[in-house]
């Protein structure tokens, strides 16, 4: 998969993948979700970033234990959080995991765990870039 590329500031720090045009993160989506409150955005983003490794580990654990309900719930919870930050790439990966969980395809989910880890790293790098862009004061 190709790395994200930065696009113009007119697109509100939206960052896009070359392949598939899925956004890694989208500042405008995130700031809209918190009603323009940068302090709140910083807080919820810090919490989500802290929770990503725990959620990813839980997804892997549920898959290893063949717990389809737990797996679906954890993937759905993580997907919902990622959507609030415009993380379409991460959302897409988690949607695939949800479908595989519904089909009880646990070995396939385990194969997606590496993709999930890489996608989560790109997401984290993307949102941390918000604090480095002029005019954006999100602190992560």
Closest to 62 in 3D by CA, of 11, 9, 4, 106: 106
Return d(Cα 119, Cα 105) in angstroms, integer.
20
**pLDDT, position 9:** 37
Asked, for residue 99, whether it belongs to a domain, the answer is yes
**CATH number, residue 66:** 1.20.120
pTM tops 0.75: yes
- Residue whose structure tokens are 């113009």: 8
Report the range of poorest mean pLDDT among 14-18, 42-46, 63-67.
14-18
Asked, for residue 102, whether it belongs to a domain, the answer is yes
User: Could you tell me the CA-to-CA distances from 69 to 60, 63, 74, 101 in Å, in that order?
Assistant: 13, 10, 9, 8
- pLDDT band, residue 4 (cuts 50/70/90): very low
Asked, for residue 72, whether it belongs to a domain, the answer is yes
Asked, for residue 31, whether it belongs to a domain, the answer is yes
Asked, for residue 134, whether it belongs to a domain, the answer is no
**pLDDT, position 115:** 94
- The pLDDT tens digits for 82-138 are 999 999 999 999 999 999 999 999 999 999 999 999 999 999 999 988 876 656 667
Asked, for residue 60, whether it belongs to a domain, the answer is yes
Measured at the alpha carbon of residue 31, what is the angle toward residues 139 and 22, in degrees to the nearest 5?
100
Return d(Cα 82, Cα 47) in angstroms, integer.
12
Number of domains, the chain:
1
Give the range of the structural domain holding residue 22, as residue numbers without chain letter. Answer: 16-129
- Helix orientation angle between 38-64 and 68-83, rounded to the nearest 10 degrees: 160
- The pLDDT tens digits for 49-95 are 999 999 999 999 999 999 999 999 999 999 999 999 999 999 999 99
Asked, for residue 138, whether it belongs to a domain, the answer is no
Asked, for residue 104, whether it belongs to a domain, the answer is yes
């Amino acid at each position: 998969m190709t790395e994200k590329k930065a696009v113009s500031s007119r697109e509100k720090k939206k960052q896009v993948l070359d392949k598939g045009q899925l956004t890694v993160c989208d500042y405008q989506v995130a700031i809209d979700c918190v009603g323009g409150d940068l302090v709140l955005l910083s807080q919820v983003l810090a919490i989500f970033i802290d929770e990503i490794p725990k959620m990813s580990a839980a997804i892997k654990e549920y898959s290893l234990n063949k717990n389809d309900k737990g797996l679906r719930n954890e993937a759905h919870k993580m997907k919902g959080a990622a959507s609030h930050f415009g993380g379409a790439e991460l959302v897409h990966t988690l949607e695939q995991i949800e479908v595989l969980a519904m089909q009880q395809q646990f070995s396939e989910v385990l194969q997606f765990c590496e993709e999930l880890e890489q996608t989560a790293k790109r997401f984290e790098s993307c949102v941390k870039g918000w604090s480095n862009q002029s005019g954006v004061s999100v602190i992560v």
